Amino acid sequence: MKQNEITCNVIADLLPLYKEGICSDDSLALVESHLEVCDECRRLAGDIELPPADETSRPDEIETFRKIGRKLRFNRFTKAMAAVFCVMLVLFGIWNGAWLVMKYLPYRRLAEGMDKPKFGKGSGREYSDGEYSYCVKFPGYLSFEGGFLRVEPVEDHEQEWTDNGGSVHDHSCTLFIWNAGESRRETEYGIFIDIPTDGGIREENYQLMVDSSLNYIPFENDRPEDIAEYEKMIENYRPELEAVMKAAQEKWGKYL
């Protein structure tokens, strides 16, 4: 039945509130007006029985406030965690971008035209022109340390065979370059000199820091006699070291 555009279904929904006396004045007037003309709804109103009031079933006010408090705290915690996550995401993006621009891309540019190494793991590139071997080692992901360039002669030592079947060689010189291509830091150079001793049974390795002119850069704990020895060693191998440095300059000079 439908009266004044108000359906019986709507009145049926309002009847429990009407019977309990907790509906608004407008709803009260609406229900009573409808019941005056609708026999079916009047019978329905008479059939509705309200459940007896059960004091134990009513929520305790303190417990209600506790539930509300827990919900509010949960919402605040969720928002705080979301904010922390967003901040971490932004910081990660900044760190990743800085590493990409300052570390990876410069080394990537230095490795243009070079191949991946055939052996070994890690990110890097290799190239050989038949006379010198060139290597670019990329820095680790998101690491601002590591990464280097290496240049060494393809035939970096002469090899001979002894009477007992062992092999000996005279020496080898390798050039390492760090921080190449970064405008904010000065390029650093290091030389690695490998000198066999005792007929090739043992080897003495010297790792020395030098500038672009192959002048020795002393360490803090170097003694005067150590400095004199290393400077003399560099002079002994200067022609080979200069040749390796020249090869590096010809390969990457505009970035060093």
Quick: pLDDT tens for 159-192. Answer: 443 444 444 445 688 999 987 555 446 788 999 9
Give the mean pLDDT of the chain. Answer: 79
Contact criterion met (CB below 8 Å) for 139 and 147? yes
**Dist. CA 133–CA 137, nearest whole Å:** 13
Residue 232 pLDDT grade (very low, low, confident, very high; cuts 50, 70, 90): very high
End-to-end CA distance of the chain: 92
In sign, the C-alpha dihedral spanning 251, 246, 209, 201 is: positive
In sign, the C-alpha dihedral spanning 19, 21, 27, 29 is: positive
Q: What does residue 195 show for φ and ψ, rounded to 5 degrees?
A: -120, 115
**Dist. CA 34–CA 62, nearest whole Å:** 41
Identify the H or E element spanning 47: helix 39-47
Higher pLDDT, 22 or 40: 40
Q: How does pLDDT run across 64-114, given as a tens digit for each residue? A: 666 667 777 777 878 888 888 999 999 999 999 998 888 888 888 888 888
Q: How many other β-carbons are positioned within 10 Å of the β-carbon of residue 15?
A: 20
For 198, the token pair is 């005792």
